[in-house]
Structure 1
Amino acid sequence: MKVLYDHQTFTGTQYGGISRYFYELMNAFAGRQDIEFELSLKFSNNEYLRQANYSHPVRYQQFANNPRVNQLFSRLNRLYSSTKLSLGNFDIFHPTYYHSYFLDKVGKKPMVLTFHDVLSEKYGKVFPVLGEGLSELKQQLIKRADIIISVSEATKQGIVEYFEVDEAKIKVVPLGNYLDKPTIAVKNTLTLPEQYVLFVGKRDYYKNFFTFLEAMIPILLKDKDLRLVCGGGGKFSEQEKYVIGQAGIQNQVLYHPIFDDTTLIQLYERAQVFVFPSLMEGFGLPVLEAMSCGCPVAVTAGTSFDEIAEGAGVYFEAENKDSIKEAVEKVIYDQSLQAKMRQRGYERVPLFKAETTAKKTLEVYKELVNA
């Protein structure tokens, strides 16, 4: 059995959850006797692939910020993927994103489509950058797919709500914990505050950072020893600096770049609580990462986070700053609760292993080949 993956998610991104998902799948399949795969990719700056022995794309980092160059390499990758599709040397096609270029090329070969979220469907009108107008294309792909992999039950319900789909085609295969946490303790090489609340990742659009920041302002003003650390996501924007400065908390809100998994592990391990106020996520890997590092989590209620954390998390209403404030204070000033949350988190983490994701995905492939 041979699976063909295409170029899409690896063309324009150095990092990102979707490229990490496919990278980890291929890593798990590499060297197995019961599955072969090919990644149809010629040009990429994706950092995960630096470590891969099954793909060696040409890098073009010096031109990475040039939109025209990116567009050119995207077209070349698409042409290469189209050629591989036309040759037909595969049993299953698994595209890595939602473009339609392959619909007239894949023929009758089985196709698996991974659906990560319904963000563009739910919030596309509020945040057009998420892909407003992408739903019609997704509907075409859903119709053509033989099996749809959903990364969570919440995403499955979203697919059923927003699309015409045979629910029997949807298989829920949760993501695994991809954070490479060594068995031995990570040395504390970072200079971090004694007490801090942690936010990780991008802060724009549906990530709901400004509502979270407003919830944190009265906590920080009251507790001058507490800090808010924002890991990754780029340096603060001018708007963020303005809000922080106006509140008089510029010495308590800190940005920390994430260089690698070791940086991330230290940020999680030493935080009083990790807060994920996102309006919606298809899965929510940072919740799983935090729990694997023994970090208590406070997260948005009524999302995929419920499936990951269950009783290990404290929940709030994402658009209610008072609800966020109450949840954060509940955790940071109760060491007994923190200890219970750490233990419950450790108990949840083994339920989400990267190898389990790969195993269940392989079962999907075999189901199609043996049908």
Structure 2
Amino acid sequence: MKVLYDHQAFTGVPYGGISRYFFELMRSFSKRSDIEFELSLRLSNNDYLDQASFSRHMRYRSLAQVPNAHKVASALNRLYSLQRVRAGKFDVFHPTYYHRYFLDAIGKKPFVISFHDATSERFGKQYPEVGEGLYDLKKLLLRRADCIIAISEFSKQEILRFFPVEPEKIKVIYLGTTLGEHSLVPEQVAPPLQAPYLLYVGKRGLYKNFDGFYRAIQPVLKHHPDLHLICAGGGSFNRDEQTLFHASRLTNRIHYRPATDANLLSLYRHARAFVFPSLNEGFGIPVLEAFSGGCAVVLSNRSSLPEVGADAALYFDPEDDDSIAETVERVVTDDVLNADLRRKGTERLRNFSCDKTARQTLDVYQSLC
């Protein structure tokens, strides 16, 4: 059996949840003898693919800052992917994002689409940046796909809520993480903070709810003068964030760290707790990452997060400042609770793995042939 993946999730982005998902799938499949795959990609600066022997793309980092460089790369990649689709040397096609470029060329070959979340349907009007206007395109692709992979039961229910799709067409396959498998090389890791700290990971804008989280925990930070906050990934602090930190007189206790795998694993291992205040997640990979780092986990009680965290996390209402502050205060001050969460997180992680995700995805591919 041979599967064709396209370029979409790997064009113009160095890292991110969707490209990580497909990278881990292909990495798992590269260890198996019962499946072949091809990634139709010519130009990419994706960090994950730096580790991959299965991609023969060219990197264009020196040109990445040139205006429209990513648009040109995307156009060239799409032409190449279309060529590979037309060649037909595959059994199943699995596009890595939402674009219809292949529909007229795929003929009767089956294709699978992965649905991650309905953020653009939930928040598109409030935050047009998340993809307002994708609805009709998603609707078309979901209707035409031979199978839809949802990454959580919550994600499946979002599909059924927003799109006219038959439930039996949807297969729920949970994600996994390999972060805990990385070895920590001291020279590749930023020096750990000696003081206790809360850890926030990923983008901070829009529905990620960082501003609300930061507003809510200011009293906690002021009540514990030795407690810091580290934000990993999501880009350096912008001017508005710096102004916010300065106004709260906490600038010296808020830190940014890049989100390399080695850095992340070290940060999770040394954090007092990982806090995820997001209003909407299709799955929430950072939850598994925190579990793999033996970190106590505190989550928003929205979307897929209770499904993934189960009883291995504490939960708060992400739109209630008191709820956030009280829950964070508990995990900061209660050593017994903190240790119990770390233990439960390690146990909960056993339910998830990238190889398990790959096995179940292979089952989907085989069912279509």
TM-score grouping bracket, smaller chain normalisation: over 0.9
User: Residue 113 of structure 2 aligns with which residue?
Assistant: 113
Is the Cα contact below 8 Å between 1:195 and 1:226 reproduced in 2? yes
Going from structure 1 to structure 2, the CA distance change for 1:53 and 1:186 (only over 3 Å counts) comes to closer
Q: Say whether residues 1:253 and 2:225 are aligned partners.
A: no
Deviation at 1:32, TM superposition (A): 2.5
Moved more, 141-150 or 84-93: 84-93
User: Residue 53 of structure 2 aligns with which residue?
Assistant: 53
Gaps of 5+ in 2: none
Is the Cα contact below 8 Å between 1:49 and 1:56 reproduced in 2? no
Deviation at 1:230, TM superposition (A): 1.1
Q: Say whether residues 1:280 and 2:280 are aligned partners.
A: yes
User: Residue 267 of structure 2 aligns with which residue?
Assistant: 267
Query: TM (normalized to structure 2)?
Result: 0.97
Is the Cα contact below 8 Å between 1:190 and 1:263 reproduced in 2? no
Going from structure 1 to structure 2, the CA distance change for 1:349 and 1:186 (only over 3 Å counts) comes to farther
Letter in 2 for 1:301: N
Structure 2: distance between partners of 1:110 and 1:199:
40
Going from structure 1 to structure 2, the CA distance change for 1:185 and 1:37 (only over 3 Å counts) comes to closer
Q: SS of the counterpart of 1:211?
A: helix
User: Residue 14 of structure 2 aligns with which residue?
Assistant: 14
Deviation at 1:303, TM superposition (A): 1.9
Structure 1: distance between partners of 2:320 and 2:19:
32
Which aligned segments of 4 or more residues in structure 1 are displaced greater than 6 angstroms?
none
User: Residue 26 of structure 2 aligns with which residue?
Assistant: 26
Is the Cα contact below 8 Å between 2:299 and 2:315 reproduced in 1? yes
User: Residue 91 of structure 1 aligns with which residue?
Assistant: 91
The 5-angstrom pairing of residues 1-371 of structure 1 reads 1-182=1-182, 190-258=191-259, 260-369=260-369
Letter in 2 for 1:75: A
Letter in 1 for 2:340: K
Going from structure 1 to structure 2, the CA distance change for 1:36 and 1:191 (only over 3 Å counts) comes to closer
Is the Cα contact below 8 Å between 2:192 and 2:270 reproduced in 1? no
Q: SS of the counterpart of 1:44?
A: coil
Structure 2: distance between partners of 1:193 and 1:352:
32
Structure 1: distance between partners of 2:31 and 2:349:
26
Q: SS of the counterpart of 1:251?
A: helix
Structure 1: distance between partners of 2:348 and 2:357:
15
Is the Cα contact below 8 Å between 2:179 and 2:289 reproduced in 1? yes
Deviation at 1:101, TM superposition (A): 0.6
Going from structure 1 to structure 2, the CA distance change for 1:312 and 1:21 (only over 3 Å counts) comes to same
Structure 2: distance between partners of 1:277 and 1:193:
25
Structure 1: distance between partners of 2:194 and 2:247:
22
Deviation at 1:191, TM superposition (A): 3.2
Deviation at 1:51, TM superposition (A): 1.6
Identity of aligned residues (%): 50
Query: TM (normalized to structure 1)?
Result: 0.96
Deviation at 1:145, TM superposition (A): 0.3
Is the Cα contact below 8 Å between 2:184 and 2:262 reproduced in 1? no
Gaps of 5+ in 1: none
